[in-house]
Structures are given as structure tokens and as C-alpha cells.
A = this chain, B = another copy of it.
């Protein structure tokens, strides 16, 4: 079981500090605070600093957002080597982004003053971070487009493919999405309900496109899913 090479692990860590020497890199790591989070620990609801940066060294974070009625959407899963930046341009936000560990997770955190200092000292860090954030905005925009224009089953297909590319492990019968994913999680990630997800996955399981269990998804026919997701 090795990670499929869709996306190299610890890519973003490299990207954030790209252009710096090893010595500088080591120094910057030391300025951050390392933490180990138990599973289901909330890392932040809302940073009280304008920018604070988190890199995941082990485990995985789930970024979510709640609306007034308590309905949740999953914005992203942050895996090993990836980072997330919390913002709080205004204080007392009502519906901020929440970062929660979904398994035991090691992170390195830089607070706002440290980040600001590092970015002023090494402009490349700000530029690198900008590149990462721009990729993120691209991702949200794509998902916004999807949720605005596509049927729910297409969106579920795209969601599985997206998760597969970012957290897929090769197993004998296909590609296992290495995140504990309940039907509710997939629904929150696709903008639908757990019932619709359940019905849809059942249908795909009958077709042999996936194989699933309790909080476990294996994509057995990725090409079929891709084709389906692009169906008119």
C-alpha cells in the first residue's frame, strides 16, 4: 500500500519554503510551534490573528464551515505536507472556518506576528504562500461552479475523484480513499444529504464502480466515475 503518485506528499511544505536554503528552512521551522492533536481535536474556530499558518506533519485536518442553522459543509481535507492559513480580518465572526483533526495529527503552527516577520524577511515565503492560496481559491471556485451547475450525482462522483486523487492508496481491488468517510461526510463535501449519497453509492456499487463499507470507500473503476462525472 503506497501513496499513488497523483500528488507528492509534503509538496506544500517544500513549496512554502521554496527558494530558501536548508539552514534558513531549519531556522524557520524552529520559529513555529509543534503540536500533537488527538483525533477530533479542534485546532481553530477562528484565529484572532490576521494570518496564522498551519502545516500538517502527520495525520489529517478537516476544514469545515457552518451556517446559521448548523448545516455543515466540508471545505477541504488537509493532508501530510499541506498547509492551511486561518484568517480573521474582522473580529467576532459568526461563521468562521473550523479546523479539526480527524485522526492523531502533528502540526507546526506559526502565529500572525511570526508569519509577518518571516514573510518580510523572506519575500519568497509570501510569494509561495500566495501561490498556494491561489490554487486553493481555484479549487473552491471549481467546486462552487459544480454545485451551481451540476446534478448531485455528478458532484458526488467528482468529490470521490477529488478525494481519491488527494488521499488514494492502491489496494488490490482499486484505489482506497484513505480518509474515514461517512455518508454524511461525503454529503457535506458534495453539498447534498446522506440519504442521496447512500442511494447513489449503492447504485455505483451494483455497477461495480466502487466498493464501500462503514466509513470506507474503494474506487474500483475510476474511469467509469470520470466518464460519469462529465456526462451531460
A residues with CB within 8 A of B: 50-51, 65, 67-69, 71, 73, 75, 85, 87, 89, 95, 97, 116, 119-120, 123-124, 126-127, 129-131, 133-138, 140-150, 191, 230, 232
Contacts and interface: CB of A to CB of B under 8 A. Distances in A.
Contacts of A116: 127
Given A65-B144, A119-B127, A140-B141, 10 more contacts: A67-B145, A67-B149, A69-B149, A85-B134, A87-B134, A89-B134, A95-B142, A120-B123, A133-B137, A143-B144
A87 B68 CA distance: 33
Nearest to A96: B138
Contact of A147 (B51, B141, B191): B191
Contact of A89 (B126, B131, B142): B131
A135 to B, nearest CB: 6
Contacts of A123: 119-120, 123, 126
A149 B50 CA distance: 27
A151 B61 CA distance: 29
Nearest to A93: B138
A56 to B, nearest CB: 19
Query: Which 9 residue pairs of A and B lie closest in terms of their CB atoms, listed nearest first?
Result: A148-B191, A126-B126, A123-B123, A71-B149, A87-B134, A140-B140, A67-B149, A73-B148, A137-B137
A146 B65 CA distance: 10
A126 B130 contact: yes
B147 A147 contact: yes
Contacts of A145: 65, 67, 73, 95
A148 B149 contact: no
A97, A131, A137, A232, most chain B CB atoms within 10 A: A137
Contacts of A51: 130-131, 134
A160 to B, nearest CB: 17
A119 to B, nearest CB: 5
7 contacts: A67-B145, A67-B150, A85-B134, A89-B135, A133-B137, A147-B147, A148-B191
